[in-house]
A and B are shown apart, each in its own frame.
Chain A
Amino acid sequence: MNVQIPIGPQHPALKEPISLRMTVDGEVITDADIRLGYNHRGVEKVAEEKNYIQNLYLTERICGICSHSHSTCYAQGVEKLMELTPPKRGMSIRYLVAELERVHSHLLWLGVAGHEAGFDSFFMYVWRDREIVMDLLEMISGNRVHYAINTIGGVRRDLDAGQVAKILEGLVTLRKRSEYYLRIGATEPSFVARIAGVGFLSLEKAIALCACGPTARASGWARDVRKEDPYAVYDELDFEVATADTCDVLGRVVVRIKELLESYKICEQILKNLPAGDIAIKAPRKAKPGEVVSRYEAPRGENIHYIKSNGTDKPERLKVRAPTLGNYPATVEMLRKGFIADIPLIFAAIDPCICCAERTVTLISAASGEESVVRMSDLRRRAIARHQNAPVKRNAVWPF
């Protein structure tokens, strides 16, 4: 007998609003269906009404984790439309942030994979180390998530020698830890037993269903936009495309850790050959009529923006394809013939995008409707004060 189980849009096992409908026969999934749109915000329509520089900040808000990937993809497209050649130093800083973002995104994913596989100490270790790269990003850009470092024609903040030294120092620690995680991820018997063979996606299916990024590379399809369509600085850098041929969640873990190690290599190369000079050039307000396809290797796979200009200061059309959408048909295939218990693990393995991080809070008084903006530190101070004035509970006494 076939039973249909709805998972989502709100479900404790998924951290993102998406509806998966599983047709199951006993414990085995026979068919899966995906319904999207619970988080559809109409960004493409809004982009047609904003000018080029406003759209830069709009595209940054498409994703809460790989925010830099969208704004970079957009900026490099608009720079081509405006026929700008941004200075080398600016480009180095932009793609340094891009690689650090990949590091933070992959570490985040590794933690989630450990958590979904029931290996919570792995999750805590990885997320502890993720703070190193988050602090570096905050030092470079002033923000942990929405870096806002891009501008059309370069970047908005420069690096000094002290920051370069700090980043290099952080990378040494991260590399040491990542090598340890590679050893655990690929050899720890209980972890490997949980993830090996789960979510099988054959190479033929990965190609036919147009999978991209680490999902496709874990099925042995060695395609990476940084390598095959080297944008900006990538043609001068030495790095490998990480692949695995196990076609399962284990392969996706291994690919991502290998990519981390490659990213450290790229960051070090960028920092050691950081050219001197300006970080940005002035961009015109309008772009000549034309069209451009901009591709970027985001942490989750190929990110593509199609921008069409009409001679004004607003784009005629901005089409955005985030890599997660490209991986959904492959996910349906992975879920088929799997077990119900593997759904969170398989679904998390494509690294679907989840939003995070909020810095200032707007408080609305329930009584008067008055709004006030408070800083995180004030909020913390208020919380401590409130706690101190709260009625004291009786101290619990251990009964034995």
Chain B
Amino acid sequence: MSDANIIEQIQRELRGKVAEIANPAPRRFYLKILPPDLVQATALLRDNLGMTHLSTISGVDKGETFEILYHFSIPEADLNLRTEIPKDKPHLPSITSVIPGAILYEREIQEMFGLIVDDIPDKRRLLLSDDWPEGQYPLRKDWKHVRPTEVIPGGQS
């Protein structure tokens, strides 16, 4: 399947649900999808294009908005689904009903960026410790780490 064929097929399957398709390098596709269409678009691509393998979900803090990328792959290409949500109302639909393997990645971005994944089956923290203070989201750009002073027993202070 050539790159042009894949673009054509995506456009046919996702009629109107895909805002933009970019193909900056061979085999690499970036699809822009609005948050309300995300679950349906993922389901359509899974059923018709065999897009079952989710590698990870990455988030980028862009100031006013969060950009969330879902890195999928099929044997012929890499499909990156991009969606943007506002920072003051950070709600993202959960895709675990379509891709059960997405659960850990959704839990990860939820705690790292402080966004809310609606209908997520497991809301608990994944990586941050249980005594981590509320409202501290490490991967937001305005969050700065303050290193506590280290005390080595018997060492230089």
Are chains A and B native binding partners rather than an unrelated pairing?
Answer: yes
B101 at the A/B interface (Cβ < 8 Å)? yes
Q: Is the CB of B55 within 8 A of A304?
A: yes
- Indicate if the CB atoms of B55 and A321 lie closer than 8 Å: yes
Stretch at the interface among A121-129, A137-145, A325-333, A390-398: A325-333
Q: Are B69 and A325 in contact (CB under 8 A)?
A: no
A208 near B156 (CB under 8 angstroms)? no
Cβ B52 vs Cβ A207 within 8 A: yes
B138: interface (CB < 8 Å): yes
User: Closest residue to A230 on the B side, CB-wise?
Assistant: B27
Is B73 in contact with A229, judged by CB distance below 8 angstroms? yes
A228 at the interface (CB under 8 A from B): yes
Tell me, yes or no, whether B135 is within 8 Å of chain A by CB.
no
Tell me whether B86 is interfacial, beta carbon within 8 Å: no
Q: Pick from A38-46, A51-59, A168-176, A191-199 the stretch touching chain B.
A: A38-46
B136 beta carbon closer than 8 Å to chain A: no
Q: Which residues of A contact B154 (CB under 8 A)?
A: 364-367, 369
Determine whether the beta carbon of B129 is less than 8 Å from that of A209: no
B152 sits at the interface (CB 8 A) = yes
* A314 contacts partner chain B, Cβ-Cβ < 8 Å: no
Whether a CB of chain B sits under 8 angstroms from the CB of A293 is: yes
Known contacts: A36-B126, A293-B78, A293-B80. The answer to whether A329 contacts B104 by CB under 8 A is yes
Tell whether A239 is near chain B: CB-to-CB under 8 Å: no
Q: Are B78 and A295 in contact (CB under 8 A)?
A: yes
CB neighbours of B148 from chain A (8 A): none
| Total A-B Cβ pairs within 8 A | 96
Given contacts A207-B53, A223-B75, A319-B56, contact A369 B100 (CB under 8 A): no
B71 at the interface (CB under 8 A from A): yes
Asked if B123 is at the interface of the complex by the 8 Å CB criterion, the answer is no
Which B residues are in CB contact (< 8 Å) with A15?
Answer: none
Q: Give the chain B neighbours of A229 by CB distance below 8 A.
A: 27, 73, 78
Given contacts A209-B101, A325-B104, contact A317 B138 (CB under 8 A): no
How many chain B residues have a CB neighbour from A under 8 Å?
A: 40
The residue in chain A whose Cβ has the minimal distance to the Cβ of B126 is A36
CA distance A364 to B59 in the complex (A): 42
In angstroms, how far is the closest chain B Cβ from the Cβ of A222? 9
Chain B at the A interface: mostly helix, strand, loop or mixed? mixed
* Residue on B nearest A48 in the bound complex, by CB: B141
Does A293 contact B71, Cβ atoms closer than 8 Å? yes
Given contacts A42-B145, A304-B56, A326-B55, contact A228 B75 (CB under 8 A): yes
Interface membership of B9, Cβ < 8 A? no
Is B21 located at the chain interface by the 8 A CB criterion? Answer: no
A364 near B155 with CB under 8 A, answer yes
A319 vs B155: C-alpha distance when bound (angstroms): 36
B127: interface (CB < 8 Å)? yes
The answer to the question of A16 belonging to the interface, with a C-beta cut-off of 8 Å to chain B, is no
When distances are taken between beta carbons in the complex, the residues of chain B under 8 Å from A208 are: 52, 99-101
Instruction: Report the Cα distance A104→B69, complex, angstroms.
Output: 34
Q: How large is the interface on A (under 10, 10 to 19, 20 to 34, 35 or more residues)?
A: 35 or more
Q: Point out the residues of chain B lying under 8 angstroms from A45, CB to CB.
A: 138-139, 143, 145
A378 at interface, CB cutoff 8 A: no
Docked pose: A306 CA to B104 CA in angstroms: 17
Which residues in B have their C-beta under 8 angstroms from that of A374? none
**CB–CB B56/A40 < 8 A:** no
- Give the complex CA separation of A229 and B55 in angstroms: 14
Measured in the bound complex, the distance between the Cα atoms of B52 and A325 in whole Å is 17
Interface flags for A355-388 (1: CB within 8 Å of B; 0: not) read 0000000001111010100000000000000000
Q: How far is the CA of A302 from the CA of B105 in the complex (A)?
A: 15
- A80 adjacent to B25 (CB under 8 Å): yes
| Residue from the list A211, A223, A367, A369 in contact with B156, Cβ < 8 A | A369
Q: Which of A35, A306, A328, A365 contacts B71 (CB 8 A)?
A: A306
Could you tell me if A295 and B156 are in contact, using CB atoms closer than 8 angstroms? no
Q: Is residue B103 within 8 Å, beta carbon to beta carbon, of the partner chain?
A: yes
The 0/1 profile, CB within 8 Å of B marked 1, for residues 337-366 of chain A is: 000000000000000000000000000111
Interface string of B83-122 (1 = CB under 8 A from A): 0000000000000000111111100000000000000000
Is B7 interfacial (CB-CB < 8 Å)? no
Residues of chain B within 8 A (CB-CB) of A371 are: 155-156
CA distance A330 to B129 in the complex (A): 23
A316 to B138, CA, bound (A): 15
Give a binary string over A280-294; 1 marks a CB under 8 Å from any B CB, 0 the rest.
000000000010110
A217 at the interface (CB under 8 A from B): no
Contact (A37, B152) CB under 8 Å given A210-B53, A329-B103: no
User: Could you jot down 20 A-B contacts, CB within 8 Å?
Assistant: A35-B126, A36-B127, A40-B127, A45-B143, A207-B52, A208-B52, A210-B101, A212-B55, A223-B53, A292-B25, A293-B28, A293-B71, A295-B55, A295-B73, A306-B56, A316-B60, A321-B55, A321-B105, A326-B56, A365-B154
A-B contact sample (18 more), CB < 8 A, given A37-B126, A228-B76: A37-B125, A37-B128, A42-B138, A42-B145, A45-B138, A210-B101, A223-B75, A229-B27, A229-B73, A293-B78, A295-B73, A304-B56, A306-B56, A316-B60, A317-B61, A321-B71, A365-B154, A371-B155
Interchain residue pairs A-B with the least CB separation, the first 3? A210-B101, A319-B58, A321-B56
